[in-house]
Chain A
Amino acid sequence: MGVALVGTVAIATIALRRGESINAMWLVVAALCSYALGYRFYSKFLAVKLLALDSTRATPAERLENGRDFVPTNKWVVFGHHFAAIAGPGPLVGPVLAAQFGYLPGTLWILAGAVFGGCVQDFVILLFSVRRDGKSLTEMARDEIGRVGGLVAYIAVLCIIIILLGVVALIVVNALKGSPWATFTIAMTIPIALLMGIYLRRLRPGKVLEVSFLGFVLVMLAIWGGQWVAQSSSLSPYFTLAAPTLAILIIVYGFAASALPVWLLLAPRDYLSTFVKLGTIAVLALGIVILRPTLHMPALTRFVDGSGPVFAGNIFPFAFITIACGAISGFHSLISSGTTPKLISRETETRVVGYGAMAAESFVAIMATIAACVLQPGIYFAINSPAGVVGKTAQAATATISAWGFPVSVTDMTSLAQAVGEHTLLNRTGGAPAFAVGMAHIFAQSLGGKLFMAIWYHFAIMFEALFILSILDAGTRVGRFMFQEALCHLWKPLGRTSWYPSVLANSALIAGAWGYFLWQGIKDPLGGINSLWPIFGISNQLLATVAFCVATTIVIKMGKGRFAAVTLVPLAGLVAVTFTASYQKIFSANPRIGFLAHARQLATDSAALPARPPEISRLMFNDRLDAVVTGVLVVLVILIVSESALEWLRVLSGRKLARVREAPIVPSRFAAEEAS
Chain B
Amino acid sequence: MNPLRRVGTILLAMLREIFDESAYARFLSRHGLTSSVEAYAAFVREAEIVKARKPRCC
Where the two chains meet, the residues of A that have a C-beta atom closer than 8 Å to any C-beta of B are 67-69, 71, 73-74, 76-81, 84-90, 157, 161, 164, 168, 200-202, 205-209, 212, 263, 267, 271, 274-275, 278, 324-325, 329, 331-332, 334-335, 338-339, 470-471, 474-475, 477-478, 481, 536, 540
* Residue B5 is within 8 A (CB to CB) of chain A in the complex: no
Q: Among the listed A71, A200, A205, A331, which residue makes an inter-chain contact with B57, where contact means beta carbons less than 8 Å apart?
A: A331
Q: Among the listed B15, B29, B43, B58, which residue makes an inter-chain contact with A209, where contact means beta carbons less than 8 Å apart?
A: B15
A291 to B19, alpha carbons, bound, how many Å? Answer: 31
A275 to B20, alpha carbons, bound, how many Å? Answer: 12
State the 3 A-B residue pairs at the shortest beta-carbon distance, nearest first.
A205-B40, A80-B14, A90-B58
Closest to B24 in A: A206
Asked whether, in the complex, the Cβ of A209 is within 8 Å of the Cβ of B21, the reply is yes
Asked whether, in the complex, the Cβ of B20 is within 8 Å of the Cβ of A208, the reply is yes
Q: How far is the CB of B46 from chain A (nearest CB, A)?
A: 7
Asked whether, in the complex, the Cβ of B55 is within 8 Å of the Cβ of A271, the reply is no
Tell me which residues across on chain B come within 8 A of A86, comparing CB atoms.
57
A73 to B35, alpha carbons, bound, how many Å? Answer: 22
Q: How far is the CB of B43 from chain A (nearest CB, A)?
A: 7
Tell me which residues across on chain A come within 8 A of B16, comparing CB atoms.
209
Tell me which residues across on chain B come within 8 A of A334, comparing CB atoms.
55, 57
Q: Among the listed B15, B40, B53, which residue makes an inter-chain contact with A80, where contact means beta carbons less than 8 Å apart?
A: B15
Asked whether, in the complex, the Cβ of B30 is within 8 Å of the Cβ of A68, the reply is yes
Tell me which residues across on chain A come within 8 A of B56, comparing CB atoms.
85, 88, 470-471, 474-475
Closest to A76 in B: B10
Asked whether, in the complex, the Cβ of B18 is within 8 Å of the Cβ of A339, the reply is no
Q: How far is the CB of A657 from chain B (nearest CB, A)?
A: 34
Q: With A68-B30, A206-B35 known to touch, is A475 a contact of B17 (CB < 8 Å)?
A: no
Asked whether, in the complex, the Cβ of A202 is within 8 Å of the Cβ of B57, the reply is no
A71 to B56, alpha carbons, bound, how many Å? Answer: 20
Closest to A160 in B: B58
Other A-B pairs beyond A209-B19, A275-B19, 10, CB < 8 Å = A80-B11, A80-B15, A87-B57, A205-B37, A206-B35, A208-B20, A267-B51, A331-B57, A334-B57, A540-B58
Q: Among the listed B22, B46, B54, which residue makes an inter-chain contact with A339, where contact means beta carbons less than 8 Å apart?
A: B54
Q: How far is the CB of A471 from chain B (nearest CB, A)?
A: 5
- Determine the main DSSP class of B at the interface with A: helix
Asked whether, in the complex, the Cβ of B26 is within 8 Å of the Cβ of A67, the reply is yes
A157 to B54, alpha carbons, bound, how many Å? Answer: 12
Asked whether, in the complex, the Cβ of B35 is within 8 Å of the Cβ of A74, the reply is no
Q: With A81-B17, A209-B15 known to touch, is A481 a contact of B52 (CB < 8 Å)?
A: yes
A334 to B17, alpha carbons, bound, how many Å? Answer: 19
A478 to B39, alpha carbons, bound, how many Å? Answer: 26
A69, A84, A332, A540 pick with most chain B CB within 10 angstroms? A84
Interface residues of B in 1-54 (CB under 8 A from A): 10-11, 13-27, 29-30, 35-37, 39-41, 43-44, 46, 48, 50-54
Asked whether, in the complex, the Cβ of A263 is within 8 Å of the Cβ of B48, the reply is yes
Tell me which residues across on chain A come within 8 A of B44, comparing CB atoms.
201, 263, 267
A78 to B39, alpha carbons, bound, how many Å? Answer: 25
Q: How far is the CB of A466 from chain B (nearest CB, A)?
A: 13
Q: With A67-B29, A200-B40 known to touch, is A81 a contact of B53 (CB < 8 Å)?
A: no
A324 to B10, alpha carbons, bound, how many Å? Answer: 30
Q: With A77-B13, A209-B19, A271-B19 known to touch, is A335 a contact of B57 (CB < 8 Å)?
A: yes
A202 to B38, alpha carbons, bound, how many Å? Answer: 9
Asked whether, in the complex, the Cβ of A206 is within 8 Å of the Cβ of B21, the reply is yes
15 A-B contact pairs sorted by A residue (CB < 8 Å): A67-B26, A76-B14, A77-B17, A80-B11, A84-B18, A86-B57, A168-B58, A201-B40, A206-B35, A208-B21, A209-B16, A209-B19, A338-B55, A478-B53, A481-B52
Q: How far is the CB of B35 from chain A (nearest CB, A)?
A: 5
A261 to B50, alpha carbons, bound, how many Å? Answer: 15
Tell me which residues across on chain A come within 8 A of B18, comparing CB atoms.
80-81, 84, 274, 278
Asked whether, in the complex, the Cβ of B58 is within 8 Å of the Cβ of A471, the reply is yes
Q: How far is the CB of A503 from chain B (nearest CB, A)?
A: 11
Tell me which residues across on chain A come within 8 A of B36, comparing CB atoms.
205
Closest to A479 in B: B55
A324 to B57, alpha carbons, bound, how many Å? Answer: 12
A68 to B23, alpha carbons, bound, how many Å? Answer: 7
Tell me which residues across on chain A come within 8 A of B23, comparing CB atoms.
68
A84 to B16, alpha carbons, bound, how many Å? Answer: 12
Asked whether, in the complex, the Cβ of A478 is within 8 Å of the Cβ of B54, the reply is yes
A212 to B10, alpha carbons, bound, how many Å? Answer: 19
A76, A201, A275, A540 pick with most chain B CB within 10 angstroms? A76
A200 to B20, alpha carbons, bound, how many Å? Answer: 12
Asked whether, in the complex, the Cβ of B58 is within 8 Å of the Cβ of A331, the reply is yes
Tell me which residues across on chain A come within 8 A of B19, comparing CB atoms.
208-209, 212, 271, 274-275
A74 to B13, alpha carbons, bound, how many Å? Answer: 9
Asked whether, in the complex, the Cβ of B14 is within 8 Å of the Cβ of A81, the reply is yes
A205 to B10, alpha carbons, bound, how many Å? Answer: 23
Tell me which residues across on chain A come within 8 A of B50, comparing CB atoms.
68-69
A73 to B13, alpha carbons, bound, how many Å? Answer: 10
A81 to B18, alpha carbons, bound, how many Å? Answer: 5
Q: Among the listed A68, A77, A164, A201, which residue makes an inter-chain contact with B58, where contact means beta carbons less than 8 Å apart?
A: A164
Closest to B29 in A: A67
Tell me which residues across on chain A come within 8 A of B25, comparing CB atoms.
206
A69 to B24, alpha carbons, bound, how many Å? Answer: 12
Tell me which residues across on chain B come within 8 A of A84, comparing CB atoms.
18
Tell me which residues across on chain B come within 8 A of A278, comparing CB atoms.
18
Asked whether, in the complex, the Cβ of B21 is within 8 Å of the Cβ of A207, the reply is yes
Asked whether, in the complex, the Cβ of A71 is within 8 Å of the Cβ of B26, the reply is yes
A87 to B18, alpha carbons, bound, how many Å? Answer: 13
Tell me which residues across on chain A come within 8 A of B30, comparing CB atoms.
67-68
Tell me which residues across on chain A come within 8 A of B21, comparing CB atoms.
206-209
Asked whether, in the complex, the Cβ of A477 is within 8 Å of the Cβ of B57, the reply is no
Tell me which residues across on chain B come within 8 A of A88, comparing CB atoms.
56-58
Tell me which residues across on chain A come within 8 A of B55, comparing CB atoms.
157, 161, 331, 334-335, 338, 474-475, 478
